[in-house]
Amino acid sequence: MHAAPSLLEPQPPSPLTEVADERLDAHGVRLLLKRDDLVHPDLPGNKFRKLRLNLTAAVQARHDTLLTFGGAYSNHLRAVAAAGRLLGLRTVGVVRGEELADRPLNPSLSVAAADGMRLDFVDRATYRRKAEPEVLAALLARHGRAYVLPEGGSNAAAALGCADLGRELRGAADVVAVPCGTGGTLAGLAAGLEGGPGECAEAVGFPVLRGGAFLAADVARLQQEAFGGRRGRWRLDDRFHHGGFARTSQDLEEFASDFHRRHGLDPERVYVAKMLHGVLTLAAEGAFPPGTRVAAVVTG
């Protein structure tokens, strides 16, 4: 077995690089890119932060299987499949939509399958009930004893792992922007920012899903479970989902290719481009006082 122990170890801080953008200069705002896409070579971005302590717990409890949940385009499923391959653990992905079982795998699921993940396609009604004890028991009966990670991988261990991200940014920024799916990254980031020199930076989460009415409650619950209560300063701005998960808009495409031209970084479209679009829009609206240092977390 070729273990990849570095998946279980904290990594050196990911790079923080300032970029010059005349649209921000006009408002006296500085932009720093927190390159979490470079945090680990095999498991980049927030998926490394979210999985590290979960993988440690799974290995310590002598699990040989990881079981988790996701939609057909889930980065989380892919990350768990890669982690399983690197650590010599079996992986099971429970995928929403039984109709997908009869179709060719999309590129995302193909990568997961190539990493050895066993895919179990379930109908949407069952998928919705996946956290209920009977549904979970049936899955474990089918696949054997397993360390279970929730959809998107957001649990207390994930939020604790993401607190490292906040710690790395202490004192370096006044506002930290992060895209949100399930909110685990924001929960940990905001907690980790607290306790540095000067005033605690505010974390601003940009949901990429539509109808994120429950997201604030989810973030608060994750902070409660991981840290025992609300931590740090954070809020959500839900205006930048561009139609919903994995949807895009002409606006977003134009913004992203322009950002690529200006800064040499082609932003990942599902999460990162939406967050950056939010940051530039807020700056244009005058939301940041002159002198504000905004760190944008490139999560993938």
Ligand X SMILES: *Cc1c(COP(=O)(O)O)cnc(C)c1O
**Is there a catalytic annotation at residue 74?**
yes
Q: How far is CA 206 from CA 139, 160, 164, 178, 228, in A?
A: 33, 20, 20, 6, 24
Q: Which is nearer to ligand X, 89 or 158 (CB)?
A: 158
Residues 6+ apart with CB under 8 A from 111: 78, 81
Q: Which is nearer to ligand X, 27 or 255 (CB)?
A: 255
Q: How far is the CB of 144 from ligand X (least distance, A)?
A: 26
Q: How far is the CB of 163 from ligand X (least distance, A)?
A: 13
Q: Which is nearer to ligand X, 157 or 272 (CB)?
A: 272
DSSP 198: S
Residues that bind ligand X (CB under 6 A): 45-47, 75-76, 152, 154, 179-185, 268, 271-272, 299-300
Give the closest residue to 145 by CA, choosing from 92, 220, 78, 79. Answer: 92
Q: How far is the CB of 26 from ligand X (least distance, A)?
A: 28
Give the pair of three-digit tokens for residue 219: 């973030």
Give the pair of three-digit tokens for residue 102: 């009869």
Whole-angstrom distance, CA of residue 128 vs CA of residue 144: 21
Tell me the torsion sign for CA atoms 167, 173, 174, 175: negative
Give the closest residue to 172 by CA, choosing from 24, 25, 272, 34. Answer: 34
Q: How far is the CB of 203 from ligand X (least distance, A)?
A: 12
Q: How far is the CB of 3 from ligand X (least distance, A)?
A: 24
Q: Which is nearer to ligand X, 65 or 75 (CB)?
A: 75
Q: Which long-range contacts (CB under 8 A, 24 or more apart) does 60-63 make?
A: 61/147, 63/89, 63/145, 63/146, 63/147
Q: Which is nearer to ligand X, 14 or 46 (CB)?
A: 46
DSSP 32: E
Whole-angstrom distance, CA of residue 294 vs CA of residue 28: 11
Describe the strand order of the beta sheet including 147-148 as a list of residue ranges. 118-122, 90-96, 65-70, 147-148
Q: CB nearest ligand X: which residue? A: 300
Whole-angstrom distance, CA of residue 272 vs CA of residue 277: 9
Q: How far is the CB of 154 from ligand X (least distance, A)?
A: 5
Q: Which is nearer to ligand X, 6 or 108 (CB)?
A: 108
Given the residues 14, 74, 110, 257, the one annotated as active site: 74
Give the pair of three-digit tokens for residue 87: 């650590």
Active site residues: 74
